Chain A
Amino acid sequence: DAKTTQPNSMESNEEEPVHLPCNHSTISGTDYIHWYRQLPSQGPEYVIHGLTSNVNNRMASLAIAEDRKSSTLILHRATLRDAAVYYCIHQPGSNYKLTFGKGTLLTVNP
């Protein structure tokens, strides 16, 4: 199974940037890197995904290492509503299954 490693928890202050790291050393050349987040009592929510190049959208940025063995999700200005569990997932290019790891619990302090 596709496997990622993330810190169990991280803490940030409101309105500061947050960098959430993820290691995916077994990633294959066609595997996508996805980030989802799960707010309390909700289903997971898509954040961003990428293959090789860095990606930006209205929610976050995704920085992918040149060797693709790690990536970083960047929240440019954390808000209290960003407190959630963030999951880094690498999805095999051969199928559409998402295999969730334990994720990182992000706490945002006011």
Chain B
Amino acid sequence: SAVISQKPSRDICQRGTSLTIQCQVDSQVTMMFWYRQQPGQSLTLIATANQGSEATYESGFVIDKFPISRPNLTFSTLTVSNMSPEDSSIYLCSVRRIQETQYFGPGTRLLVL
């Protein structure tokens, strides 16, 4: 299994500012992902965080808006840049090892005013 923690657990931010969300795993993992869950909606994959290289973004998500870092096998950050109220969502970190199931963090609840 994998125990995932995210910081902050929730935040209220002003539009135009940026927020960096941290994801920490208790042991090394092969893959790390970032998802967004808008209010009342399902999860949408933002990107795959790649260690030592640029993240791989899904259609509709760009690096300028959601820069991602992954400096090692247990840690990643997602920044939500130049926020607007439409960015109000739950942001979830997810991890996976080869041949194992995928685990999800508790999420970061973001409200943008």
Contact = CB atoms under 8 A, between A and B. Distances in A.
Interface of A: 34, 42-46, 49, 87, 96-103
Contacts of A98: 45, 94, 102
Given A43-B92, A46-B101, A49-B101, A99 B45 contact: yes
Interface string B63-102: 0000000000000000000000000000010101000011
Nearest to B92: A43
Interface residues of B, number: 19
Given A43-B92, A44-B43, 9 more contacts: A43-B4, A45-B104, A49-B101, A87-B42, A96-B96, A97-B48, A98-B45, A100-B44, A101-B42
Say what secondary structure dominates the interface of chain B: strand
Contacts of A49: 101
Given A96-B31, A96-B96, A43 B104 contact: yes
15 contacts: A43-B104, A43-B106, A43-B107, A44-B92, A44-B104, A45-B104, A46-B103, A96-B31, A96-B96, A97-B45, A98-B45, A98-B102, A100-B43, A100-B44, A102-B42
Nearest to A87: B42
A89 to B, nearest CB: 10
Contacts of A103: 42
